[in-house]
Amino acid sequence: MEKTKVLFISQEITPFLPESEMSLIGRYLPQGIQEKGKEIRTFMPKYGCVNERRNQLHEVIRLSGMNLIINDTDHPLIIKVASIQAARMQVYFIDNEDYFMRKHVLKNDDGNFFEDNDERTIFFTRGVLETVRKLRWAPDIVHCHGWFTALVPLYLKKAFQDDPLFNEAKIVYSAYNDDFSNPLHKDFRSKLQIDGITDNDVSLIKQPDFVNLSKLAVEMSDGIIYGSPEINPELKSFIENSGKPALEYFPQDQIVDEYSVFYDKLLAERNED
């Protein structure tokens, strides 16, 4: 019997970024799931503050070289990889000079939200999916962590719905207490659209703020996990009324077992269809 394949797409992973609720889950969940006998791939953005020398990142030439067009501009897609030796796992990084060379994650020196965070999340999410296609690796579960990954469910359900690598995958979105106060660029909806995505598909983000982007991720996912003990109340209400299977918050020492069971339940439902 083939191993279940789980694709982790994370906004933050330690030790590449400082420890946080999300970065610790990004680090230890994939390891635990792999140790349970599942096959994994893990992706995060290559923010400029990630120390390439200390973490021994190197470019994967065979996966790099593609261009992604966003807002009528070509942006080269660069793929890098590093190993976490203690976990026996690799982390793939999505990189681009225009979007990820700066020395901060989401805000500048003055604490202001980057004006192009809309294009950065589009580039990252599309870049992950195009890289997985190049790897020819068909995930059974795609688990997204953090608002920066929130477009993945939309792209999978709409733009990639006929791709045999993805069309059987179950999508899980973890909702965290990672609100941002500034809305994304007013043209976000038009920038993110590619073949297969219509205005109606993205009607939820007419106002492109944290809550509406998260609602879109919930709407397009097959299962939801509460990654933080408390999340935005409006988003929580939306999840509760969505009819989607949802897993309550669990502390880190319990997530591997609980999440693994949740994945298996979603896959059992898929196999019954």
Per-residue pLDDT of the chain (273 residues; tens, 9 = 90+): 689 999 999 999 999 999 999 999 999 999 999 999 999 999 999 999 999 999 999 999 999 999 999 999 999 999 999 999 989 999 999 999 999 999 899 998 888 899 999 999 999 999 999 999 999 999 999 999 999 999 999 999 999 999 999 999 999 999 999 999 889 999 999 999 999 999 999 999 999 999 999 999 999 999 999 999 999 999 999 999 999 999 999 999 999 999 999 999 999 987 766
Query: For residue 163, what are the domain limits?
Result: 5-47+116-272
| 261, part of any domain | yes
Write down the pLDDT at residue 109: 87
Dist CA 102 CA 264 (whole Å): 39
Residue 200 forms part of a structural domain: yes
Phi first, then psi: what are they for 253, rounded to 5°? -75, -5
85 three-state secondary structure: helix
Structural domains in the chain (count):
1
Domain-located, residue 181? yes
Task: Please state whether beta strands 73-84 and 58-59 pair in parallel, antiparallel, or not at all (unpaired).
Answer: antiparallel
Q: How many separate helices (H) and strands (E) can be counted in the chain?
A: 9, 10
Token representation of residue 207? 């106002």
Residue 233 lies in a domain: yes
* CATH number of 246's domain: 3.40.50.2000
